Amino acid sequence: MKLLNYTTSYFAAILLLVITVWAAVYYYTMLDEIYDSIDDGLDNQKQLIIKKAGADSTLLNKPEFGEAGFRITPISREAANKLHDVYIDSSMYMENEGSQEPIRLLKTVFLSGGKYYHLEVATSMVEEDDLVNALVYALIWLYLGIVLPVLILNNVLLKKVWKPFYRMLSQLKDFRIDRSVNIQTQQTHIEEFRLLNNALQEMQNNNLEVFTSQKHFIENAAHELQTPLGIAINKLEHLAEQEHLSDQQLALLSSALDNLDRLTRLNRSLLLLSKIENRQYTGVTPVHLQELIQKITDDFQEQAQYKGISLTIDTKDCIVQMHEDLAMILLFNLIKNAVLHTPPGGSINISLQHCLLVIKNSGNKPLIKDRLFSRFDTQHPSTQSTGLGLSIVKAITDLYHFRIDYQYLDQHVITVAFTKTVIPDSFPN
Amino acid sequence: MKLLIVEDEAGMRENMQQLLLQENYIVETATDYHSAREKLGVYNYDCILLDIGLPGGTGLSLLQELKKEGRTDAVLIVSAKDSIDDKVAGLNLGADDYLAKPFHFAELNARVRSLLRRKAAQGSDIITVQNVSLNTINRTLQVDDREIDLNRKEYNIIEYLLINKNRLVNKTALAEHVWGDNIDEVSSFDFIYSQIKNLRKKLKDSNALVEIKAVYGIGYKLTEL
């Protein structure tokens, strides 16, 4: 629920409650006043009738109400002693309305000429249901008269007032720290929004600064590592070329070299990943996937053979618009991953049909999909693996919006849906 | 053959110098942009090994100047900045090849050899060691004028080992050279061994006077018998 409707709904509910309570109080106060006034009138009429009856005894013979609105009936002394002045609500047939209508009735006794008489004075009473109806109608109009303008005012005025806020919100929704789209704040003379604008601008700048410096840090660290790595590798290679080294010494050197090579690969992968994520691979060309798959599987033939893996390929060409190096890296990493993790004697099946690449390889237990594409995932312990291969794959598929999926159907199945004509997100420069 | 190494990092420079001296090249070094400029003003080199990030200027601008002057010295960019932009920029400016740091000795040696071969006069497309000769144009191997049948990968292996004869060739360097830079992360390079075994058999059967020795855990070395 929007903020402005939220406040309005509260306002409407409270108003409804207040008006209802007020209406009840008003109604009973009003009714009380009416009774008071009518009863006063009846009392006055009683006095007048008694006075008049004292002077004109013909009045005493009036057993029916008729047009005068009272009746007098003689009663016994005993009965008269039991009676007091009472006001009661009753009803009476009204000629004009043609029905029983409410009346107010004053019953009293008086003494005239030594005889007791029972006097009843009636007057037409307000019809309570009509009063309630009229009141309810009036209140509904009042309620609508207050709530509607508030609603309209809110929707027109508040909408205008909150405009910078919603603008900010829609920009925040689209904000991605890795895209170079900045949040543009709008000038506003509302204090709170101005504060929000400033806070937002500051937060954005801080985040971008941290993000950029981290990005550069990874890149620079990787770059700076390359030279010392190279020096170390070459020194060890030089040492290994010395004559008369024992097997034991060579084994130590070999292990050191292997680990330096591993560090080199890790470093290269990190650099590659940061380059992909920084969108440094610009430009697309038509890439024939079938050809690439052929070339890569050819390179892996010896390894597959060595591990006794049966490698079957069933492809139909698919031409994709993307950076050729990235296409190569994507396919290479997927196939390498399959070769690397298939147990000896297992099988790998690569199929490309209608631009849907499916790579199936044997494996005995399912992997956790969410972790599979994350960096340094350790579900597959392998001393030589950098743990970055599939993150690189994911980064490339994300860049081109290719859908990648993993399933376990008695074997590992990775699918990549290539989109034929795809324009990657706008690159910087 | 005279080479110039332009490299500011002392350890790197010494390594390269040592390696290339062993290959019997005349090697000179420069540590920054200006000393490189001075050396290049006086001498011609067969091959220049050029770092990109240098004190006093970039290797790329040095390359630009060389090309402007119409120099034909072969240029191999050896850089830690293996970003594609640098690579493309370097090659567009007329560099002959590009090698990213870190590298293995064998790879640097092969690149330099191949550059010098391309530059030199005719006939140098043949690498000869004892009774073995490799034609790098036709990609054929002959032992005593008899051609040995090799598949593509066997050819690449023997070419690499012949270029680096008597040197220890790291197995990673060999794998990357033959199977491509991206061959990394394979669980082991043991599969190379079966290729080497085939090659050895072919060499032995044709009485070649070279042999491929395995150096414990590290790699292979082609030696003359």
Nearest CA in chain B to A333: B182
Mean per-residue pLDDT for A376-382? 63
Reported as type and span, the H/E element at residue A383 is: none
Distance CA B217, CA A245 (A): 13
A137 in helix, strand or coil?
A: helix
Contacts of A340 in chain B (CB under 8 A): 185-187
Q: Are A207 and A224 in contact (CB under 8 A)?
A: no
Contact B11 A228 (CB under 8 A): yes
Structure confidence at residue B222 (pLDDT): 93
End-of-domain residue from the set A114, A131, A148: A131
Report the top-level CATH class of B126-224: mainly alpha
Contact A234 B19 (CB under 8 A): yes
| Closest by Cβ to A247, choosing from B102, B195, B216 | B216
| Closest by Cβ to A227, choosing from B19, B101, B172 | B101
Structure confidence at residue A180 (pLDDT): 61
Residue A210's CATH number? 1.10.287
Q: Are A358 and A340 in contact (CB under 8 A)?
A: no
Interface check for B13 against chain A (CB to CB < 8 A): the answer is: no
Torsion sign (Cα): A371, A375, A381, A382: positive
A142 within domain boundaries: no
Q: Determine the distance in angstroms separating the CA of A279 from the nearest CA of chain B, rounded to an integer.
A: 12
Nearest CA in chain A to B179: A299
Distance CA A336, CA B71 (A): 43
A15 within domain boundaries: yes
Name residues whose C-beta falls within 8 Å of residue A378's C-beta, 6 or more positions apart in sequence: A387
Total number of domains in chain A = 3
My answer on whether A337 and A248 are in the same domain is no
Contact A275 B84 (CB under 8 A): yes
Which of B20, B101, B189 to mutate to test binding with chain A, by most A CBs within 10 Å of its CB?
B101
Least confident of A241-245, B28-32, B203-207: A241-245
| Closest by Cβ to A306, choosing from B81, B185, B190 | B190
End-of-domain residue from the set A274, A299, A329: A274
Interface check for B195 against chain A (CB to CB < 8 A): the answer is: yes
A183 within domain boundaries: no
My answer on whether A287 and A411 are in the same domain is yes
Percent of all residues in chain B with a pLDDT value above 70, rounded to a whole number: 92
Q: In chain B, what is the greatest distance between 2 CA atoms, to the nearest angstrom? A: 57
Interface check for B19 against chain A (CB to CB < 8 A): the answer is: yes
Distance CA A203, CA A213 (A): 15
Mean per-residue pLDDT for A318-339? 91
Contact A237 B168 (CB under 8 A): yes
Q: What is the pLDDT of residues A229-254, one digit of tens each?
A: 999 999 999 999 888 889 899 989 98
At residue A186, does pLDDT exceed 80?
no
Contacts of B220 in chain A (CB under 8 A): none
Contact B105 A268 (CB under 8 A): no
pLDDT top residue among A388 and A215: A388
Contact B11 A257 (CB under 8 A): no
A146 within domain boundaries: no
A425 within domain boundaries: no
Distance CA A155, CA B218 (A): 77
For chain B, domain boundaries: 2-119, 126-224
Structure confidence at residue A427 (pLDDT): 42
Residue B80 structure tokens = 């830690």
My answer on whether A409 and A289 are in the same domain is yes
Structure confidence at residue B38 (pLDDT): 92
A345 within domain boundaries: yes
**With a CB-CB cutoff of 8 Å, which residues 190-229 of chain A face chain B?**
223-224, 226-229
My answer on whether A119 and A196 are in the same domain is no
Which of A220, A282, A296, A306 to mutate to test binding with chain B, by most B CBs within 10 Å of its CB?
A306
My answer on whether A76 and A200 are in the same domain is no
A253 within domain boundaries: yes
Mean per-residue pLDDT for B176-190? 69
Query: Where residue A179 falls among pLDDT bands split at 50, 70, 90?
Result: low
Contacts of B184 in chain A (CB under 8 A): 261, 265, 268, 386
Q: Could you tell me the residue range of the domain that residue A262 belongs to?
A: 192-274
Name residues whose C-beta falls within 8 Å of residue A382's C-beta, 6 or more positions apart in sequence: A340, A341, B187
| Closest by Cβ to A265, choosing from B103, B184, B194 | B184
Report the top-level CATH class of B2-119: alpha beta
Counts for chain B of helices (H) and strands (E), in that order:
8, 14
A–B CB contacts, 8 A cutoff, strictly below: 126
End-of-domain residue from the set A231, A254, A274: A274
Q: Are A335 and A359 in contact (CB under 8 A)?
A: yes
My answer on whether A304 and A356 are in the same domain is yes
A143 within domain boundaries: no
Nearest CA in chain A to B166: A241
Query: Where residue A359 falls among pLDDT bands split at 50, 70, 90?
Result: very high
My answer on whether A293 and A412 are in the same domain is yes
Question: Prior bond to B102 cis, omega within 30?
Answer: yes
Structure confidence at residue A379 (pLDDT): 65
**With a CB-CB cutoff of 8 Å, which residues 300-359 of chain A face chain B?**
302-303, 305-307, 325, 328-329, 332, 336, 339-340
Query: Where residue A381 falls among pLDDT bands split at 50, 70, 90?
Result: low
At residue A424, does pLDDT exceed 50?
no
Amino acid type, B46: D
Mean per-residue pLDDT for B149-161? 91
First to last CA, chain A: 41
Q: Are A299 and A263 in contact (CB under 8 A)?
A: no
pLDDT top residue among A424 and A149: A149
